[in-house]
Chains A and B, each alone.
Chain A
């Protein structure tokens, strides 16, 4: 995605509150939070070829850390936010050592196992996590003294953080390191022979993905002012993987589109059908059948065909 497209999208996103009420503004905030989450996973899945089924771990732990630091020590957001990011990134550095002993299915299973350990911990370690009741009574930060309680200010806050995240992730993807990362995805053996330390490239990416996931976790906990073990559940990890695959792996805009599709479906359909995940599964099935590489590359291809026929 080039710079003009990014600016156009940002401006359009900034204009949403002009035409939408609080419900849709909140929905847009949710989409942005999910988009940052999906973009962070896409670093691993799309650019690194490392499919993780435990990415909720970093989102959940950063949310828990932020909440726990506030409830336990009464810590302000200025301090708790960087600490939550740091703690989660360090955890990614540790988990990466374990998970990257494998690639492919092995990697997927280890990330899944690590995620499940944390999920179990969130349920059982009641003194810290308050178990199934979750941590409630949390607050939103007040950057520069601006109150984020309302839907509108919080949306703009989320939008700014999201744009920063997207720009940084795009820079990462288009950098020399990003090119090397894609190389390790396509031909790891060749990359080794060329002098690239494939393991280290993957490890750095793993930690980076953990960091941006932690950023989305902070937005998540600020939005809900509540955190529950469900945030760490396998369904959350699977959902974000679905967003990435449905939108288009290894593209910048794909995960954002995927996030929008999943969040919208979830909110609309769950109002009418209790088993909304079934419909989500059905939609996913259709995408995989007709656009196996995801919505964004699929639509792009359709558009090219259409344009060629008109020309």
Chain B
């Protein structure tokens, strides 16, 4: 099943049940390096559970997860992050009391040996804060870099979520509804941001907003009741009768 190049993410026969209720049911996925993959499905289809299994927030009951050929199903969340996996959260999960720059610095420290430095003042690491401002500039937030996170708007926080992931220079990026709750204008901004993510980062995205999502992704996986129902190119999935069935309840 696995000829040719190493996949960025390869999930095989992954299952997870909550008290007998299967949230992820024998899911297999193969995502090539540099791919943009969209995962869609109605509420409760197990999209976020799948993400949590890939990142290690949840442990699967069985199955294998390989990131660039390396089996990670037994690794802790932080160990998977060390191997180039980054994610954003559907519900904003940031540090409200700290400045935006500090939020991004925490992200950069995650992959830097400097995180164990318990002696030198962090504030004196100008290089880190300089780089944090550069990353914030990439998402258009350099003007508010020194503001506490609690003072910026919801749409801006969504951008910080993405900035923190980008700051880590990940190989594989999981975006969990990066457009959730945004206005039309904000959506377009974030959409442009996502389109600008360099190709050496493989992106897997969960999104409900079909217009945005469809324009972003080349490959689409449709989940329903924890199972992969349809998979293929944009055109294939949209045209598939099962897609219509799941979404329109036909």
Q: With an 8 A cutoff between CB atoms, is A192 at the interface?
A: yes
* A193-B77 CB under 8 A given contacts A176-B117, A187-B93: yes
Contact B168 A179 (CB under 8 A): no
Which residues 115-134 in B have Cβ within 8 Å of A in the complex? Answer: 115-123, 125
Give the docked Cα–Cα distance between A175 and B82 (Å): 21
What is the number of residues of chain B that contact chain A, defined by CB distance less than 8 Å?
Answer: 36
| Chain A residues near B55 (CB-CB < 8 A) | 193
Give the docked Cα–Cα distance between A195 and B86 (Å): 9
Q: With an 8 A cutoff between CB atoms, is A190 at the interface?
A: yes
Q: With an 8 A cutoff between CB atoms, is B189 at the interface?
A: no
Picked from B76, B95, B125, the residue with its CB within 8 Å of the CB of A176 is B125
Picked from A174, A183, A192, A204, the residue with its CB within 8 Å of the CB of B81 is A192
Q: With an 8 A cutoff between CB atoms, is A260 at the interface?
A: no
Q: What's the minimum C-beta distance from B9 to chain A, rounded to whole angstroms?
A: 16
Contact B105 A179 (CB under 8 A): yes
Picked from A171, A172, A174, A190, the residue with its CB within 8 Å of the CB of B93 is A190
| Chain B residues near A197 (CB-CB < 8 A) | 76, 78
Q: With an 8 A cutoff between CB atoms, is B152 at the interface?
A: no
Q: With an 8 A cutoff between CB atoms, is B29 at the interface?
A: no
Give the docked Cα–Cα distance between A193 and B122 (Å): 21
Picked from B56, B94, B114, B122, the residue with its CB within 8 Å of the CB of A178 is B122
Contact A175 B164 (CB under 8 A): no
- Chain B 67-89: CB-based contact to A (< 8 A → 1; otherwise 0): 00000000011100110001101
| Chain B residues near A175 (CB-CB < 8 A) | 117-122
- Chain A 182-199: CB-based contact to B (< 8 A → 1; otherwise 0): 010011011111111110
| Chain B residues near A192 (CB-CB < 8 A) | 56-57, 76-78, 81
Contact A179 B120 (CB under 8 A): no
Contact A194 B95 (CB under 8 A): no
Give the docked Cα–Cα distance between A26 and B117 (Å): 37
Closest to B121 in A: A174
Give the docked Cα–Cα distance between A180 and B56 (Å): 20
Q: With an 8 A cutoff between CB atoms, is B106 at the interface?
A: yes
| Chain A residues near B117 (CB-CB < 8 A) | 175-177
Contact A180 B109 (CB under 8 A): yes
Closest to B88 in A: A193
Contact B106 A194 (CB under 8 A): yes
Interface residues of B (CB under 8 A from A): 55-57, 76-78, 81-82, 86-87, 89, 93-97, 102, 105-107, 109-111, 114-123, 125, 164, 168
- Interchain Cβ contacts under 8 Å between A and B, 18 examples: A171-B119, A176-B120, A177-B115, A177-B117, A179-B109, A180-B106, A180-B109, A183-B95, A186-B97, A187-B93, A190-B94, A193-B77, A194-B106, A195-B81, A195-B111, A196-B78, A197-B76, A197-B78
Q: Top 4 closest A-B pairs, CB basis?
A: A194-B110, A195-B81, A195-B110, A177-B118
Given A176-B116, A176-B122, A187-B95, 15 additional A-B pairs, CB 8 A: A172-B119, A175-B118, A176-B109, A176-B125, A179-B102, A179-B106, A180-B106, A190-B93, A191-B106, A192-B76, A193-B78, A194-B81, A194-B110, A196-B78, A196-B115
